[in-house]
Structure 1
Amino acid sequence: MAAITASMVAELRAKTDAPMMECKKALTEADGDMGKAEEILRVKLGNKASKAATRVTAEGIVGTFIAADGKLASLVEVNCETDFVAKNDDFLAFTKNVAELIATQNPADVAALLALPLDGSTVDSVRAALVGKIGENLSIRRFQRVAAQGQVAAYIHGGAKIGVLVDLVGGEESLAKDIAMHIAAFKPKSLDASGVPADLIEVERRVAIEKAKEAGKPEAMIEKIAEGSVQKFLKDVTLLGQVFVKAEDGKQTIEQLLKAKSASVASFALFSVGEGIEKKVNDFAAEVAEQAAKAAAAR
């Protein structure tokens, strides 16, 4: 049996917002497996235990670039330490230049991007110089390049904290903008069910089975109940299955909207600044106490 430490309990609590004792029980039942413990809490507490999946904690912005013909575009997340720096003109200009480089030079990954020439030097050298000038660490976290089948539209929200690109085939620019706004609001994981990772689907199935068992459902019904839960999950997390944010009847899905407009979405990209990054929270009281203890010991 793995030892369950206070730090493990605190980590699970931060991820799920579940009560401390429930976190400890779940970790004990899962023999210290953090992922399994999250599943156990979801069974007991419902979706409240997965709220941290969309928690945004790091600072920075999402930058975009779209070519004049709408056929080439990019999305990039550049991080910094504070929101103040995220509004700095030099930081904004750096992000804009990097976004254009990604679209025009098509680097394979962040390492290749950092090696590209920029302002008579390299992207990484310019980044390092900016760190020295601003006084904060800066990093390029991720990017996505889109070579469009149709036309690309972008939507930036919340002070560039959320960025979306949509490659729309057919339809009008206003439709592409509406769909991009919808994506920013509802954050689909993929275009359709084929793009949802199998492990996420399996987690939903296991949770549904355990909930059905705990509710005392007949054994013969459990698989059917689980399949229904999986299908509902897929509608909730796929763009085509989601109900359009501006649907007048509250029922029209994105798939139905596109069909009505004789259009289709070839692909989309969505970045939320800091998604999945745990931001360090300083406990100033603990720091002061620690410093006082050190000073006392040194006397």
Structure 2
Amino acid sequence: MAITAAMVKELRESTGAGMMDAKKALTENDGDMEAAQDWLRTKGLAKAAKKSGRVAAEGLVGVAVKDGKGVAVEVNSETDFVAKNEEFQKMVASIADAALTVDTTEQLADATVDGKPVSEVLTDAIAKIGENMTLRRMVKVEAPLVVSYVHNAAAPNMGKIGVLVGLEGCNEEIGRQIAMHVAATSPASLGQDDLDPALVEREKQVLTDQARESGKPDNIIQGMIAGRMKKFFEEVTLLGQKFVINPDVTVEQAAKDAGAKIVGFARVAVGEGIEKKQEDFASEVAKTLSGS
């Protein structure tokens, strides 16, 4: 029997299962909707789907580097307890390795780990561990030399913050120092030209309004704005920032002094930008006891 998109949609809505799981369930049961629902329940996939609406803001960032390619992958869980789970950590490591072969998060979801798509690996883990988990994002840096750093490491190559730095010039030591700098300062971009124009315009407007309140002449105001924008670029761009290890030089100069040039970087922090729901402890206990 031909499995249509409408059938897959219906099964997804009735069980909350993922698209690929719903399609597989219908295929395995020759389009029989009830049998497909039972199949999902048997596999634990319907149960896992019920958890998909819960906020997953904890988890780990896994990094992997090979042959001039570096990736950082964020896999979220609901609690930090799961992030400390050895099985979860092994899964994150395998997903990070798989990310070396693809370019986008969508492609990574379809990439295989031990013969299974990453999306199915996650679904299986949800059913087994009992928490919602999501593959949130991946970033890639390519350069002659890519150095990685993990802050608050929970296991080798994974932790709460993952950093990649791409260099021209084979100096791994300065690369690691710069990666640690990135973890600490979270620069907005590599250089001035890479900054979001909207961010630059917003900052310029704020500084302009502040300068005008001084009541000084326009020519003085323009000079004030130029000086303050220069300081802004120095503070938010990696190349312009003062190097945390030696504040007498910029990061760009520190790299140059070590015979290297920074060509790219990425910083991924767990839960960054996710709105976490705040609930009191009594509510959490009640939810646990009710099994929801």
* TM-score category (smaller protein): 0.7 to 0.9
Matches within 5 A, 1:177-188: 177-188=176-187
Further displaced range: 264-273 or 254-263: 254-263
What's 1:106 paired with?
102
Distance 1:200 1:114 in 2: 31
**Deviation of residue 283 (structure 1)?**
4.5
What's 2:160 paired with?
161
**3-state SS, counterpart of residue 158 of structure 1:** strand
**Residues 106 and 145 in structure 1, CA contact (< 8 A), matched pair in contact too:** no
**Deviation of residue 259 (structure 1)?**
2.0
Distance 1:83 1:216 in 2: 52
What's 2:88 paired with?
91
**Residues 205 and 227 in structure 1, CA contact (< 8 A), matched pair in contact too:** no
Distance 2:265 2:106 in 1: 23
What's 1:9 paired with?
none
**RMSD over aligned Cα atoms:** 2.1
Distance 1:171 1:242 in 2: 22
Further displaced range: 57-66 or 138-147: 57-66
**Residues 168 and 263 in structure 2, CA contact (< 8 A), matched pair in contact too:** yes
Q: Which amino acid aligns with 1:173?
A: E
What's 2:130 paired with?
135
* Cα displacement string for residues 239-295 of structure 1 (whole angstroms, at most 9, x for unaligned residues): 110111110xx321112112222210111111111111121111468x69xxxxxxx
**Deviation of residue 222 (structure 1)?**
2.2
Q: Which amino acid aligns with 1:121?
A: K
**Residues 212 and 225 in structure 1, CA contact (< 8 A), matched pair in contact too:** yes
Q: Which amino acid aligns with 1:117?
A: T
Distance 1:274 1:217 in 2: 44
Matches within 5 A, 1:72-91: 72-91=69-88
Question: For residues 252 and 59 of structure 1, do their structure 2 counterparts lie closer, same or farther at Cα, with a shift above 3 Å needed?
Answer: same
Distance 1:167 1:280 in 2: 36
Q: Please, which of 266, 277, 284 is the counterpart of residue 280 of structure 1?
A: 277
Structure 1 residue ranges without an equivalent (≥5): 1-56, 289-299
Q: TM-score, normalised by structure 2?
A: 0.72
What's 2:209 paired with?
210
**Deviation of residue 174 (structure 1)?**
1.0
What's 1:254 paired with?
251
Further displaced range: 173-182 or 274-283: 274-283
* Cα displacement string for residues 135-177 of structure 1 (whole angstroms, at most 9, x for unaligned residues): 11100111112332x2111110023111111112114211111
Q: Which amino acid aligns with 1:154?
A: S
What's 1:125 paired with?
120
Further displaced range: 114-123 or 176-185: 114-123
What's 1:4 paired with?
none
Distance 2:211 2:121 in 1: 56
What's 1:116 paired with?
111
What's 2:51 paired with?
none
Q: Which amino acid aligns with 1:198?
A: P
Q: How many positions carry a matched residue from both structures? A: 225
Matches within 5 A, 1:261-276: 261-276=258-273
Matches within 5 A, 1:42-61: 58-61=57-60
Distance 1:171 1:123 in 2: 33
Distance 1:62 1:216 in 2: 49
**Residues 171 and 261 in structure 1, CA contact (< 8 A), matched pair in contact too:** no
Distance 2:281 2:91 in 1: 33
Distance 1:137 1:146 in 2: 29
Q: Which amino acid aligns with 2:78?
A: E
Q: TM-score, normalised by structure 1?
A: 0.71
What's 1:232 paired with?
231
Matches within 5 A, 1:9-88: 58-67=57-66, 70-88=67-85
**Deviation of residue 208 (structure 1)?**
0.6
Further displaced range: 84-93 or 222-231: 222-231
**Residues 72 and 162 in structure 2, CA contact (< 8 A), matched pair in contact too:** yes
Q: Which amino acid aligns with 1:84?
A: F
Distance 1:190 1:138 in 2: 29
What's 2:40 paired with?
none
**3-state SS, counterpart of residue 161 of structure 1:** strand
